[in-house]
Chain A
Amino acid sequence: MRELFETTIERIFSDLVSPALIHQCADGAWPGALWNTLEAAEMTWAAVPETLGGAGATWEDVYTLVRAAGAHAVPAPFADTLLANWLLGRAGLQPVQGPVAIAAHSNLTYTDGHASGQLDRVPWGRHLRRMVAIAAGRNPQIVVLDTASAAQVGPRTNLAGEPRDTITFHRAPVIHAAPLPTGSHPEDLLLYGAMLRSAQMAGALQSLLQMTARYAAERVQFGKPIGQFQVIQQQIAVFAEHTACSLLAAEAAFAESAIDIGRLPIMAAKICAGEAAGIGASIAHAIHGAIGFTDEHSLHLKTRRLWAWRAEYGSQSYWSQRLGQCVCESGSRALWPMLTQPATPRRGAVTETLL
């Protein structure tokens, strides 16, 4: 399944996602042809259980789709839709046709089938058909909201120009609602978002590394390709190490969240990807020189996303501090058992303390 997904998604993105399209979308366009192709290939429902009409892909397979979306800087909420539909399926709710995303930052309240409150930094909010949020409170609910019923849509963007909108609801009718599954935590949306961005960053780093290695092999200075200088080789090697690290960390986060959310793996993935993003973007720019700093060159389509994504759904700083507090509260004797805890579907005592 994984290989089939990989070849299909690579073909779609290679054919349809161009720097020109990414620029148009940053100026407010919606990539209709791309989105229709993704839906027609049933990619947006890949993670939906077969009983609900999806492809029933494993969460590990879905990792490759999210990674590819990051590698191609896909200017649409494709990864967000995969996640939202998967979460809906798990909560026993019908997945959504059309673009849908989770809203991890909200002060939503839910009463009598209606929701009120503000959702912040909603990915591609203005283009979404639906959004998935958690209404906190004594009985937290997962709710599905119709973007058309929003009282206000405040357009905002991240530093890469991707929509991250503020959306307000006043007693809007809720499309679906379900109690948060036992063992879930309202902050889980933040973690799932972090997992998504980790895999997108890993994909972007992989693509950036390829661009950088290729450029170093082609660009001639001092009479030879700059990639033949050890000082360049050593930098690209460090970049490659961090890319490998972020790829594996993201894959682990997905694999360990297939049944129950893998809190430690997700935190670790976001922390490692964030660190890799800073290092990778810096080396990529250093090696590309002035041409890579131009608007015309496609390098910044990846590097600006890395700088944006590493801060979304909790930065390295945020998750490091959370994890470090947990490490200290649990004491030194608990650290090694925590790091080596065999992955099991059930919720372990140590992961409980992580949030």
Chain B
Amino acid sequence: MILTALRYRRIPPAAEELRREVRAFLDVEVRDLPAVQRADSWMGFDAPFSGRLGARGWIGMTVPKRYGGAQASAFARYVVIEELLAAGAPVSAHWIADRQSAPMLLRFGTEAQKERLLPAICRGESFFCIGMSEPGSGSDLASISTRARRNADGWILNGRKIWTTNAHRSHFMITLVRTQEKNAERHRGMSQFIVDLSRPGITVRPIRDLTGDEHFNEVVFENVELADGDLVGVEGQGWEQVTAELAYERSGPERILSCMALVNTLIDNVGRSPDALQARELGRVAARLFTLRNMSIAVTAQLQSGENPAVAAACVKDLGVTLEQEIPEIAQAICDMEPSSEGTDHARVLAHLTQLAPSFSLRGGTREILRGIIARSLDLR
């Protein structure tokens, strides 16, 4: 069975050595960051901070040196990003470029695309977003209708993308579109393009979320001119590219640590002498964090050795976000505290993450989609 393929792995010592350096850096960088901003973590946008990380060589770490990367292992990257997330560092600006766009370009992009795009990603200067969902296509991604048509000079793009995180603050979007008419084989006829968001014909409209923040957007393409060099890899391979990318998106520490800031304020609020209920709940949270992190590292080991751990990644994400979503509930259950944006650190973090939590099992593939992938691996679909 595919699940037993997941083997326990320690982070190798060479990668582990980075940890102290990252912690020392963060001690200075985020020392004065308020708890409620730490709770934002990979939603916290700070372009100068991304630049400083890039200068350290901590963005695009697995990218080969000839494209400006550190040519480090997936484990080294794991150590850096989990330390950033645990500290609540504002990594949002470069997050998508580092996590998905760079690996995707490395794997499927042309030599010219790699040379053009990767060095600026690694410097923490070039920010990416990903255009997948459309108003009529959410979980059923293969039903998209945004369309690129060939013309004499390249391609003309028309359509609409939605829920695109950071589109209003990114330089590029990598977007999945149709390049052929829909036919019986619904996973065919799609391609990915690198869209320079400063081109004419693109309208980006931020959508305010229920917390009052603006992270995601609607993006409209009206006769946007694209060059042949903007096509990622080969025409018609969009679906394969997108599904390969998802293992990167679903197995990382960001699927476990979204409520770390709340765990910390909760422990502070409970104090050194917990009652039995508080101790049991916090002990369970620690045990699950510990084990899910080990699962996430095991998936990283599979990625490092070139396997495609799509099913294991789906397991990590579903278990991980389930825990992330439980944490505000546990906080509410073991401490009498009113969530409030005007209260103590704990009250503010609780207020923020209670409201943010529903998004955890939506972004990157819903719970139901993930469970469908797992069921298919058990020959049930």
B270, A251: Cβ atoms closer than 8 Å: no
Of residues 307 to 355 in A, which have CB atoms within 8 Å of B's CB atoms? 316-317, 319-329, 331-333, 335-336, 338-340, 342-343
Contact residues in A for B86 (Cβ distance below 8 Å): 336, 340
Q: Quick check: B286 and A232 within 8 Å, CB to CB?
A: no
Is A236 in contact with B380, judged by CB distance below 8 angstroms?
A: yes
Q: Please give the distance in Å from A281's CB to the nearest CB on chain B.
A: 17
From A237, A317, A323, contact of B372 by CB (8 A): A237
User: Does chain A have a CB within 8 A of B200?
Assistant: no
Of the candidates A244, A269, A275, A338, the one having the most CB atoms from chain B within 10 angstroms of its own CB is: A244
Instruction: Say yes or no: B4 contacts A230, CB within 8 Å.
Output: no
By beta carbon, the residue of chain A nearest B291 is A249
CB neighbours of B324 from chain A (8 A): none
Tell me, rounded to whole Å, the shortest Cβ–Cβ distance linking A105 to chain B: 21
Instruction: Check: B308 CB closer than 8 A to any chain A CB.
Output: no
Known: A210-B1, A233-B375. A245 touches B319 (CB 8 A): yes
List the B side residues contacting A241 at CB < 8 Å.
315, 318-319, 374
Which of A247, A269, A271, A335 touches B6 (beta carbons < 8 Å)?
A247
Interface band, chain B: 35 or more
Question: A276 CB to closest chain B CB, in angstroms?
Answer: 10
| C-alpha spacing A51/B251, complex, angstroms | 43
- Which of B13, B370, B372 has a CB less than 8 Å from the CB of A230? B372
Interface: B10 (CB within 8 A): yes
A234-B368, A321-B283, A328-B279 as given contacts; A268 in contact with B380, CB under 8 Å: no
B10 touches A342 (CB 8 A): yes
Which residues of the partner chain A approach B13 to less than 8 Å between Cβ atoms? 342
Q: Does A24 have its Cβ within 8 Å of any Cβ on chain B?
A: no
- Residue B290 at the A interface, CB < 8 A? yes
Contact in complex: B282, A327 (CB < 8 Å): yes
| 0/1 interface trace, chain A 267-288, chain B, CB 8 Å (1 if under) | 1110110010000000000000
The size of the chain A interface, using a CB distance under 8 A, is 58
Complex: A227 Cα to B281 Cα, angstroms: 34
With the chains together, A237 CA to B264 CA distance in Å?
A: 31
Min C-beta distance of B102 to chain A, whole Å:
25
Residues of B near A37 (CB, < 8 A) are none
A323 touches B283 (CB 8 A): yes
Q: Pick the contact of A324: B16, B274, B381 (CB < 8 A).
A: B274
- A233 near B284 with CB under 8 A, answer no
Q: Given the complex, which residues of A lie within 8 Å of B375, measured CB to CB?
A: 227, 233-234, 236-237
Q: Using an 8 Å CB-CB cutoff, how does the interface string of B260-297 with A read, 1 for contact, 0 for none?
A: 10011101101111101011111110111111111100
The binding surface of chain B is classed by DSSP as helix
- B227: interface (CB < 8 Å): no
Q: Which residues of A contact B312 (CB under 8 A)?
A: 244
Min CB gap B208→A, angstroms? 32
CA distance A233 to B371 in the complex (A): 7
B32 partner residues in chain A, CB cutoff 8 A: none
Residue from the list A234, A236, A275, A328 in contact with B271, Cβ < 8 A: A328
- Chain B contacts for A328, CB-based, 8 A: 267, 270-274, 278-279, 282
Q: Per-position contact with B for A246-274: 1 when CB-CB < 8 Å, else 0?
A: 01110110010000000011011101100
Tell me if B7 and A251 are in contact (CB < 8 A).
yes
Q: How far is the CB of B370 from chain A (nearest CB, A)?
A: 8
Answer yes or no: A217 CB below 8 A from chain B CBs. yes
Please give, as numbers and ranges, the residues of chain A lying within 8 Å of B10 by CB-CB distance.
255, 342-343
* A238 within 8 A of partner (CB): yes
Per-position 1/0 for A123-141, Cβ under 8 A of B = 0000000000000000000
Check if A85 is an interface residue, CB within 8 A of chain B.
no
Known: A241-B315, A244-B6, A335-B263. A217 touches B283 (CB 8 A): no
A226–chain B nearest beta-carbon distance, Å: 9
The docked-state distance in angstroms from the alpha carbon of A146 to that of B346 is: 57
Bound Cα distance A241, B4 (Å): 11
Q: How far is the CA of A327 from the CA of B264 in the complex (A)?
A: 10
Q: Write out the residue numbers on chain A whose beta carbons fall within 8 Å of the beta carbon of B377.
A: 240
List, in ascending order, chain B residues with CB within 8 A of A227's CB: 375, 380
Contact with A along B349-381 (1 / 0, CB 8 A): 000000000000000000010111011011111
Q: Please, which residues of chain B bring their CB within 8 A of the CB of A251? A: 7-8
> Does the CB pair B267–A244 fall under 8 Å?
no
The answer to whether A271 and B380 touch (CB under 8 A), given A233-B371, A243-B3, is no
Q: Assess whether B298 is interfacial by the CB under 8 Å rule.
A: yes
Known: A237-B375, A238-B371, A248-B295. A316 touches B284 (CB 8 A): yes
Please give me the residue from chain B that is nearest to A264 by CB atom: B290
Whole-angstrom distance from the CB of B54 to the nearest CB of chain A?
24
CB-contacts of A186-222 with B (<8 A): 206, 209-210, 213, 216-217
Contact among A242, A317, A332 with B268 in the assembled complex (CB-CB below 8 Å)? A332
On chain B, the residues within 8 Å of A336 by CB distance are 86, 260
Take A233-B375, A234-B368, A335-B267 as given contacts and tell me if A228 and B287 are in contact as well, using a CB distance cutoff of 8 Å. Answer: no
A243 to B: closest C-beta gap in Å: 6
Given contacts A268-B287, A328-B267, contact A248 B319 (CB under 8 A): no
B10-41 CB contacts (< 8 Å) to partner A: 10-11, 13, 16, 19
The reply to whether B291 and A332 form a contact with Cβ atoms under 8 Å apart is: no
Question: Among A228, A268, A275, A342, which residue has its beta carbon within 8 angstroms of that of B16?
Answer: A342
Q: Is the CB of A245 within 8 A of B278?
A: no
Residue B196 at the chain A interface, CB threshold 8 Å: no
A232 touches B380 (CB 8 A): yes
Report the minimum CB–CB distance from A246 to chain B (whole Å): 9
A319, B287: Cβ atoms closer than 8 Å:
yes
Complex: A340 Cα to B19 Cα, angstroms: 10
Report the minimal beta-carbon distance from B271 to chain A, rounded to whole angstroms.
Answer: 7
Q: Given A234-B375, A237-B374, are A332 and B290 also a contact pair (CB < 8 Å)?
A: no
Least CB distance from B326 to A in Å reads: 12
B315 touches A244 (CB 8 A): yes
Residues in A lying within 8 Å of B, measured CB to CB: 206, 209-210, 213, 216-217, 227-228, 230, 232-234, 236-238, 240-245, 247-249, 251-252, 255, 264-265, 267-269, 271-272, 275, 316-317, 319-329, 331-333, 335-336, 338-340, 342-343
List 7 A-B residue pairs with CB atoms under 8 Å apart, sorted by A's residue number.
A236-B378, A238-B371, A247-B3, A248-B7, A248-B294, A264-B290, A324-B284
Of all A-B residue pairs in the complex, the 10 with the closest CB atoms, nearest first, are A324-B283, A324-B279, A323-B283, A237-B371, A233-B375, A320-B283, A237-B374, A271-B287, A332-B267, A268-B287
> Given known contacts A228-B381, A268-B291, A271-B287, what 12 new A-B pairs fall within 8 Å (CB)?
A213-B379, A245-B315, A247-B3, A251-B8, A324-B278, A325-B283, A327-B279, A332-B268, A333-B264, A338-B286, A339-B289, A340-B82
